[in-house]
Structure 1
């Protein structure tokens, strides 16, 4: 397929996405199945175009003066890819499978359209209904935070220190341009190419042999801030595919015991292969078994209970730009209920002086500081650790500068820390000395 034909395909997919709230990946896959002539490189290029357009959907529509799929794609080629009006015009030639030529109005908007006077939600490329909530979290920086969340994310890797040092892993990935992450001592970062695509890591020897795992630097920091020590008893209450479980196993040097649980056994399925590849030996996977309580033996025994809570995922929009346009107010309410239940559930597993570490990949106060405040009001036996103490226990005292201005916990975001958006709070059973 020619680049112009790929743009046509991307517009077609965007039109389908405008009619429903389905994940973009599903619609892109369906398009590929019904257009077998498109090779893997074509599909990857089309996917990248679609996600760039979704990243800049609001600002592109504003610049172009309309919100059709075609207008959004035209605007995104300028806003996300930096193409000149002449460069966009070459793709919209009307020849072969190219989109119809640019109209006079479209060319004028490309040449003269700006974001001057645009409201914050347009400049930040997020849904208008979230405006108040993001302003409550970031104040006058809400639009800037949103714009940072609409940029492409790098590929971050966590070096598995059970098998290799960061220098050793970096040497094996030097051909990909891997460089140290600025905050995580175990992270490597690979910048995306000009087309937004990352490397095929699954084919890399370092990945196959378990020297590295894909994990955003913010997620790595969240695991480090658990302050896990060798010999600790740790319950990962929402383990999912096991990303933070693996990080905790490396931190404890395979000593102690980590229990990986998730109330949806299907989410746990990938963890077994990942544990084997990483050489992890101190993790027990506790999959749900009907109505049986598979965690009853852990009551009052855990040094750390990690809650990697289900949330709106507002902090991951760089990687999942379609998610921000699919998010509905009802989903926020449901996630808040899930979070409250998990916090209440975690209480029974914590031993005296043990900790609950609460983590979200959300930037909304409703899911973060507000949840912690409500929990502390309902559970007077627990006390919040100051951000400086959490950072110190994690061996990264410099992270104290990310202390939340809205209460306890630490906040990370693309604008402030160069990571995905994360919130981390530690709650100790007993008074904090």
Structure 2
């Protein structure tokens, strides 16, 4: 693709993301590229990379365009991004040439708007903190109240690109060193993770899913924080386990590996598409101690198994604030009422899941949120309603979980403090 054609594709993809505002940007991007098979791998990386860069500074671009009186649309967002990144007007004009596969020629008004942005910094002293750190206005005070003098560090880190984390599947390869060697033979360079005993971190942006190591189930893409949640469950090969909100099965896979394909796991979710994806991943990973079920409160399979599980994992639907590095578009969609609805839903799910834990069994609650309302506050309220549960330290095999986690009943991870996505997890026992 020519540089102009690349910029045109950036505008098209950004427009598609705006139109499908209730669909995650990565899903929209995947569909966008599937319909344009002619776009090669290098061009895809350029286009998606530029779109994600723009999404990470969306509020600042919007602020500048409003300030100079420009319409706010993908075409001008991209042009403003180019100018604020240091490109000259003539350079931007060359991209917007109006030629075949290029964006339409810039008109006189558009040129005037862009000229007003020349030599302007991305960050203006007149911007609010919420705009600078790309969060909704109503969210900033909540995070500032919770993190205090660490707020700016936490929010700055959430604006950085996320790492590419892998979990080695010990059902198919003996250790991380062997997996690392296999990946290196396919030109994928990795480092051992600091906390997870199963984790490898890939260097830069690499196409893991095209490797034989991934296709053959030797590795799975999974953030280190997510791996630690699986570790906190402390599952063993003799147990009956329920992954209550399994989604596409990332933590189900990790628990099956911990159980060495023994015992029994049920992965449930309300969305059949997610469970279909989970089944595909389970097959690839060589997991056969797991079954999947569509979740419904009145489902017969659920009623028959009340108080029968040694472990119940609730990876609750949440704001996803801890994953904003990966999903910068999510912060643009996050509304105040969303948080209120999520907190209510999480409370209901916790109470429902608690019924499934047998006496002496454990309930593990997790979110990918950095907000106290969804995390510690949610657990405090649950324990007030359910006095037959209490906090307990995880009983994971000591050599698997670092000592600093072994002596805690819960943890809150953040990108700034732990170089992981933002995750909360706590362990409770049914007395």
- What's the TM-score bracket when you normalise by the shorter of the two chains? 0.7 to 0.9
Aligned match for 1:184, one of 186, 196, 210: 196
In structure 1, distance between residues paired with 2:418 and 2:299: 42
Measured after TM superposition, the shift of residue 77 of structure 1 is 5.1
| Equivalent of 2:78 in 73, 78, 90 | 73
Conserved in 2, the CA contact under 8 Å of 1:60 and 1:74?
no
Q: Distance in 2 between matches of 1:187 and 1:148?
A: 21
Q: Identify the match of residue 337 of structure 2 among 330, 339, 348.
A: 330
1:113 equivalent to 2:121? Answer: yes
Match of 2:258 in 1: 251
1:148-167 to structure 2, matched below 5 A, reads: 148-164=157-173, 165-167=175-177
Asked whether the 8 Å contact 2:231–2:396 carries over to 1, the reply is no
Aligned residues: 415
Q: Report how far residue 295 of structure 1 moved.
A: 2.2
Name the counterpart of 2:183: 173
* Residue 421, structure 1, aligned to residue 422, structure 2: yes
Please give the residue correspondences for 1:303-322 in structure 2 after superposition, counting only pairs within 5 Å: 303-322=310-329
Pairwise CA RMSD of aligned residues?
3.1
Q: CA deviation at 1:325?
A: 0.7
8 Å Cα contact 1:391/1:397 also seen in 2: no
Give 1:21-420 correspondences, 5 Å limit. Answer: 21-23=21-23, 24-25=25-26, 28=29, 38-39=39-40, 41-62=42-63, 65=67, 69-70=74-75, 72-74=77-79, 76=81, 84-85=86-87, 90-93=91-94, 94-95=96-97, 96=99, 97=102, 103=111, 106=114, 109-113=117-121, 115-117=123-125, 118-164=127-173, 165-174=175-184, 175-193=187-205, 198-199=206-207, 201-288=208-295, 291-385=298-392, 395-399=401-405, 409-420=410-421
Secondary structure at 1:173 match in 2:
helix
Q: CA deviation at 1:139?
A: 2.0
- CA displacement at 1:363 relative to structure 2: 1.2
Output the TM-score relative to the length of structure 2: 0.85
Deviations 1:303-346 (A, max 9, x none): 21100101111111111111111122232222222211111011
Alpha-carbon distance change, 106 to 391 in structure 1, aligned in 2, over 3 angstroms: farther
Q: Deviations over 1:240-259 (max 9, x none)?
A: 21110000011122232222
CA contact (8 A) 1:356 1:427 kept: yes
| SS of corresponding position for 1:420 | coil
Q: State which drifts further: 302-311 or 284-293.
A: 284-293
Quote how far apart the aligned CAs of 1:261 are.
Answer: 1.5
Kindly indicate whether the alpha-carbon contact (under 8 Å) linking 1:159 and 1:169 is maintained by their aligned counterparts in 2. yes
Q: Aligned to 2:256, what secondary structure does the other structure show? A: helix
Conserved in 1, the CA contact under 8 Å of 2:411 and 2:425?
Answer: yes
Aligned residues of 2:245 and 2:267 also touching (Cα < 8 A): yes
Aligned to 2:9: 9
Q: 1:32 to 1:228 in 2, by over 3 A?
A: closer
Q: Tell me the TM-score normalised to structure 1 length.
A: 0.85
Q: Quick one: distance in 2 between partners of 1:72 and 1:295?
A: 49
- In the TM superposition, residue 18 of structure 1 has moved relative to its aligned partner by 4.8
Does the C-alpha gap of structure 1 residues 77 and 137 become closer, same or farther in structure 2, counting only changes over 3 Å? farther
